[in-house]
Amino acid sequence: MQFRLFSFALLVLNCMDYSHCQASRWRRSKRASYGPNPICKGCLSCSKDNGCIRCQHKLFFFLRREGMRQYGECLHSCPSGYYGLRAPDMNRCSRCRIENCDSCFSRDFCTKCKAGFYLHRGRCFGECPDGFASLEETMECVEGCEVGPWSEWGTCSRNNKTCGFKWGLETRTRQIVKKPAKDTIPCPTIAESRRCKMAVRHCPGGRRTAKTKDKRKKKKNLMERAQKQHSIFLATDRASQ
Protein backbone atom coordinates (compact mmCIF):
# COMPACT_ATOMS: atom_id res chain seq x y z
CA MET A 1 0.00 0.00 0.00
CA GLN A 2 2.79 2.41 0.92
CA PHE A 3 4.65 1.53 -2.27
CA ARG A 4 1.54 2.44 -4.34
CA LEU A 5 1.16 5.80 -2.58
CA PHE A 6 4.84 6.56 -3.19
CA SER A 7 4.52 5.68 -6.88
CA PHE A 8 1.44 7.91 -7.21
CA ALA A 9 3.24 10.89 -5.58
CA LEU A 10 6.24 10.41 -7.86
CA LEU A 11 3.93 10.38 -10.87
CA VAL A 12 2.25 13.66 -9.80
CA LEU A 13 5.63 15.37 -9.31
CA ASN A 14 6.78 14.23 -12.74
CA CYS A 15 3.61 15.63 -14.31
CA MET A 16 4.08 18.99 -12.54
CA ASP A 17 7.70 19.11 -13.62
CA TYR A 18 6.69 18.30 -17.18
CA SER A 19 4.02 21.02 -17.29
CA HIS A 20 6.54 23.57 -15.96
CA CYS A 21 9.06 22.53 -18.60
CA GLN A 22 6.39 22.74 -21.26
CA ALA A 23 5.44 26.25 -20.12
CA SER A 24 9.08 27.36 -20.12
CA ARG A 25 9.56 25.77 -23.53
CA TRP A 26 6.46 27.66 -24.81
CA ARG A 27 7.79 30.97 -23.45
CA ARG A 28 11.19 30.33 -25.04
CA SER A 29 9.59 29.45 -28.36
CA LYS A 30 7.46 32.61 -28.12
CA ARG A 31 10.59 34.73 -27.52
CA ALA A 32 12.49 32.87 -30.20
CA SER A 33 9.81 33.72 -32.74
CA TYR A 34 11.30 37.25 -32.84
CA GLY A 35 14.85 35.97 -33.04
CA PRO A 36 15.54 36.95 -36.66
CA ASN A 37 14.77 40.61 -35.81
CA PRO A 38 17.74 41.99 -33.74
CA ILE A 39 15.78 44.96 -32.36
CA CYS A 40 13.51 42.55 -30.49
CA LYS A 41 16.33 41.40 -28.21
CA GLY A 42 15.32 41.61 -24.56
CA CYS A 43 11.65 42.34 -25.36
CA LEU A 44 8.62 40.83 -23.68
CA SER A 45 6.51 41.91 -26.65
CA CYS A 46 7.77 43.10 -30.00
CA SER A 47 6.61 44.27 -33.42
CA LYS A 48 8.55 43.86 -36.64
CA ASP A 49 7.64 47.41 -37.65
CA ASN A 50 7.89 49.25 -34.29
CA GLY A 51 10.43 47.09 -32.46
CA CYS A 52 10.08 46.48 -28.73
CA ILE A 53 6.82 47.44 -27.03
CA ARG A 54 7.55 46.05 -23.56
CA CYS A 55 10.92 45.14 -22.03
CA GLN A 56 12.11 42.60 -19.52
CA HIS A 57 12.10 43.79 -15.89
CA LYS A 58 15.77 44.87 -15.58
CA LEU A 59 16.09 46.53 -19.00
CA PHE A 60 15.27 50.08 -20.08
CA PHE A 61 12.89 50.92 -22.91
CA PHE A 62 14.44 53.38 -25.39
CA LEU A 63 12.57 54.91 -28.33
CA ARG A 64 15.13 55.38 -31.08
CA ARG A 65 14.44 57.81 -33.93
CA GLU A 66 16.03 57.52 -37.35
CA GLY A 67 14.66 60.13 -39.74
CA MET A 68 10.90 59.66 -40.00
CA ARG A 69 11.04 56.21 -38.44
CA GLN A 70 11.07 55.35 -34.75
CA TYR A 71 11.23 52.00 -33.00
CA GLY A 72 11.64 50.67 -29.47
CA GLU A 73 14.70 48.95 -28.01
CA CYS A 74 15.43 47.27 -24.69
CA LEU A 75 18.84 48.25 -23.28
CA HIS A 76 20.89 47.48 -20.18
CA SER A 77 21.93 51.17 -19.94
CA CYS A 78 20.64 54.31 -21.61
CA PRO A 79 22.66 56.00 -24.39
CA SER A 80 24.44 59.35 -24.19
CA GLY A 81 22.12 62.26 -23.40
CA TYR A 82 19.61 60.01 -21.55
CA TYR A 83 19.21 58.65 -18.02
CA GLY A 84 17.43 55.56 -16.70
CA LEU A 85 14.07 56.16 -15.05
CA ARG A 86 12.73 53.12 -13.18
CA ALA A 87 8.99 52.61 -12.80
CA PRO A 88 6.72 49.73 -11.63
CA ASP A 89 5.26 49.14 -15.09
CA MET A 90 8.43 49.54 -17.20
CA ASN A 91 11.84 51.20 -16.97
CA ARG A 92 12.42 53.92 -19.56
CA CYS A 93 15.24 56.07 -20.95
CA SER A 94 14.40 59.73 -20.47
CA ARG A 95 16.23 62.60 -22.18
CA CYS A 96 18.52 64.93 -20.19
CA ARG A 97 16.98 68.41 -20.25
CA ILE A 98 20.27 70.21 -19.51
CA GLU A 99 21.96 71.97 -22.43
CA ASN A 100 25.32 70.52 -23.58
CA CYS A 101 24.97 67.52 -21.21
CA ASP A 102 26.40 64.14 -22.25
CA SER A 103 25.07 62.04 -19.36
CA CYS A 104 22.87 62.92 -16.40
CA PHE A 105 21.71 61.51 -13.07
CA SER A 106 18.22 62.92 -13.38
CA ARG A 107 16.29 65.23 -15.68
CA ASP A 108 17.86 68.42 -14.27
CA PHE A 109 21.25 67.22 -12.92
CA CYS A 110 24.12 66.53 -15.31
CA THR A 111 27.05 64.26 -14.36
CA LYS A 112 29.18 64.71 -17.51
CA CYS A 113 29.20 67.51 -20.06
CA LYS A 114 29.92 67.37 -23.76
CA ALA A 115 33.47 68.07 -24.97
CA GLY A 116 34.54 71.67 -24.43
CA PHE A 117 32.14 72.35 -21.52
CA TYR A 118 32.77 72.41 -17.76
CA LEU A 119 30.55 70.73 -15.17
CA HIS A 120 29.39 72.90 -12.26
CA ARG A 121 26.64 71.89 -9.83
CA GLY A 122 24.85 69.70 -12.34
CA ARG A 123 25.06 72.24 -15.19
CA CYS A 124 27.38 72.73 -18.17
CA PHE A 125 29.25 75.99 -18.84
CA GLY A 126 31.59 77.21 -21.56
CA GLU A 127 33.51 79.08 -18.83
CA CYS A 128 33.40 78.61 -15.07
CA PRO A 129 31.39 81.22 -13.11
CA ASP A 130 33.12 83.96 -11.13
CA GLY A 131 34.91 82.65 -8.06
CA PHE A 132 35.48 79.20 -9.59
CA ALA A 133 38.40 77.77 -11.55
CA SER A 134 38.41 75.12 -14.28
CA LEU A 135 40.17 71.75 -13.91
CA GLU A 136 41.13 70.61 -17.40
CA GLU A 137 41.77 66.99 -16.36
CA THR A 138 38.19 66.49 -15.15
CA MET A 139 36.47 69.39 -16.99
CA GLU A 140 34.89 70.56 -13.73
CA CYS A 141 34.59 73.92 -11.97
CA VAL A 142 36.05 74.00 -8.47
CA GLU A 143 36.31 76.76 -5.89
CA GLY A 144 39.01 79.17 -6.96
CA CYS A 145 41.06 81.85 -5.25
CA GLU A 146 38.81 84.50 -3.73
CA VAL A 147 40.17 88.03 -3.41
CA GLY A 148 38.83 91.14 -1.70
CA PRO A 149 38.05 94.55 -3.21
CA TRP A 150 40.74 96.87 -4.59
CA SER A 151 42.19 99.54 -2.31
CA GLU A 152 42.39 103.21 -3.30
CA TRP A 153 45.24 104.25 -5.60
CA GLY A 154 48.39 105.09 -3.65
CA THR A 155 50.51 108.25 -3.82
CA CYS A 156 52.22 109.01 -7.12
CA SER A 157 55.95 108.42 -6.63
CA ARG A 158 59.19 107.58 -8.38
CA ASN A 159 62.32 106.14 -6.79
CA ASN A 160 60.51 106.40 -3.44
CA LYS A 161 60.08 110.15 -3.96
CA THR A 162 56.86 112.12 -4.37
CA CYS A 163 58.56 115.10 -6.03
CA GLY A 164 61.45 115.94 -8.34
CA PHE A 165 59.98 114.24 -11.42
CA LYS A 166 57.18 114.97 -13.84
CA TRP A 167 55.87 111.37 -14.08
CA GLY A 168 55.69 108.53 -11.60
CA LEU A 169 53.70 105.39 -10.71
CA GLU A 170 50.75 104.81 -8.37
CA THR A 171 49.75 101.37 -7.05
CA ARG A 172 46.67 99.69 -5.60
CA THR A 173 46.36 96.25 -3.93
CA ARG A 174 43.81 93.68 -2.73
CA GLN A 175 44.00 90.80 -0.27
CA ILE A 176 43.46 87.03 -0.74
CA VAL A 177 40.29 86.22 1.21
CA LYS A 178 40.12 82.49 0.44
CA LYS A 179 42.84 80.21 -0.91
CA PRO A 180 41.98 77.92 -3.87
CA ALA A 181 40.96 74.27 -3.47
CA LYS A 182 44.18 73.16 -5.20
CA ASP A 183 47.64 74.71 -5.22
CA THR A 184 47.77 74.41 -9.01
CA ILE A 185 44.93 76.96 -9.34
CA PRO A 186 46.45 80.45 -9.68
CA CYS A 187 45.10 83.50 -7.87
CA PRO A 188 44.22 86.67 -9.79
CA THR A 189 46.50 89.72 -9.64
CA ILE A 190 46.61 91.27 -6.17
CA ALA A 191 48.58 94.41 -7.14
CA GLU A 192 48.62 96.67 -10.18
CA SER A 193 50.27 99.99 -11.08
CA ARG A 194 49.67 102.77 -13.57
CA ARG A 195 51.49 105.90 -14.76
CA CYS A 196 50.64 109.15 -13.00
CA LYS A 197 51.63 112.80 -13.05
CA MET A 198 53.27 114.08 -9.91
CA ALA A 199 51.48 116.86 -8.08
CA VAL A 200 54.81 118.55 -7.16
CA ARG A 201 57.39 118.77 -9.96
CA HIS A 202 60.25 120.26 -7.90
CA CYS A 203 60.99 119.33 -4.34
CA PRO A 204 60.73 122.44 -2.12
CA GLY A 205 64.05 123.39 -0.48
CA GLY A 206 65.71 120.29 -1.81
CA ARG A 207 68.47 119.63 -4.30
CA ARG A 208 67.72 119.41 -7.93
CA THR A 209 68.15 116.07 -9.55
CA ALA A 210 71.39 115.03 -11.19
CA LYS A 211 69.68 115.19 -14.55
CA THR A 212 68.84 118.88 -14.03
CA LYS A 213 72.43 119.61 -12.95
CA ASP A 214 73.80 117.93 -16.08
CA LYS A 215 71.54 120.03 -18.28
CA ARG A 216 72.62 123.28 -16.60
CA LYS A 217 76.31 122.32 -16.84
CA LYS A 218 76.01 121.47 -20.51
CA LYS A 219 74.23 124.74 -21.21
CA LYS A 220 76.98 126.68 -19.36
CA ASN A 221 79.71 124.94 -21.35
CA LEU A 222 77.97 125.78 -24.60
CA MET A 223 77.70 129.44 -23.57
CA GLU A 224 81.39 129.61 -22.63
CA ARG A 225 82.41 127.97 -25.91
CA ALA A 226 80.26 130.41 -27.91
CA GLN A 227 81.75 133.40 -26.08
CA LYS A 228 85.28 132.12 -26.70
CA GLN A 229 84.64 131.62 -30.42
CA HIS A 230 83.12 135.11 -30.62
CA SER A 231 86.21 136.67 -29.00
CA ILE A 232 88.52 134.86 -31.46
CA PHE A 233 86.40 136.09 -34.36
CA LEU A 234 86.63 139.73 -33.16
CA ALA A 235 90.39 139.52 -32.67
CA THR A 236 90.93 138.10 -36.16
CA ASP A 237 88.71 140.77 -37.68
CA ARG A 238 90.69 143.58 -36.01
CA ALA A 239 94.04 142.14 -37.11
CA SER A 240 92.92 142.01 -40.71
CA GLN A 241 92.01 145.69 -40.61
- C-alpha span between 106 and 124 (Å, rounded): 14
pLDDT of residue 10: 43
Model pLDDT for residues 185-238, shown as the tens digit of each residue: 778 888 999 999 988 888 876 555 556 667 777 777 777 877 777 677 666 656
| Helix or strand run (H / E) with residue 220 | helix 210-240
Domains of the chain: 38-95 (2.10.220.10), 99-143 (2.10.220.10), 147-203+216-239 (no CATH)
Q: What is the CA radius of gyration of the chain?
A: 45
133 φ/ψ angles, rounded to the nearest 5 degrees: -115, 155
Better-scored residue on pLDDT, 166 or 210: 166
pLDDT of residue 241: 55
Question: Which phi-psi region, left, alpha or beta, contains residue 107 (left: φ > 0; alpha: ψ -120 to 50)?
Answer: alpha
Q: Is 4 helix (H, G, I), strand (E, B) or coil?
A: helix
| Rounded percentage of the chain residues whose pLDDT exceeds 90 | 18
Q: In this structure, are residues 100 and 117 in contact, taking their beta carbons and an 8 Å threshold?
A: yes
State the burial class of residue 54 (Cβ atoms within 10 Å of its Cβ: 0-12, 13-18, 19+): middle
Q: What is the model's pTM? A: 0.42
- C-alpha span between 141 and 68 (Å, rounded): 39
Q: Is the C-alpha dihedral spanning 208, 212, 218, 222 positive or negative?
A: negative
pLDDT of residue 17: 47
- C-alpha span between 233 and 230 (Å, rounded): 5
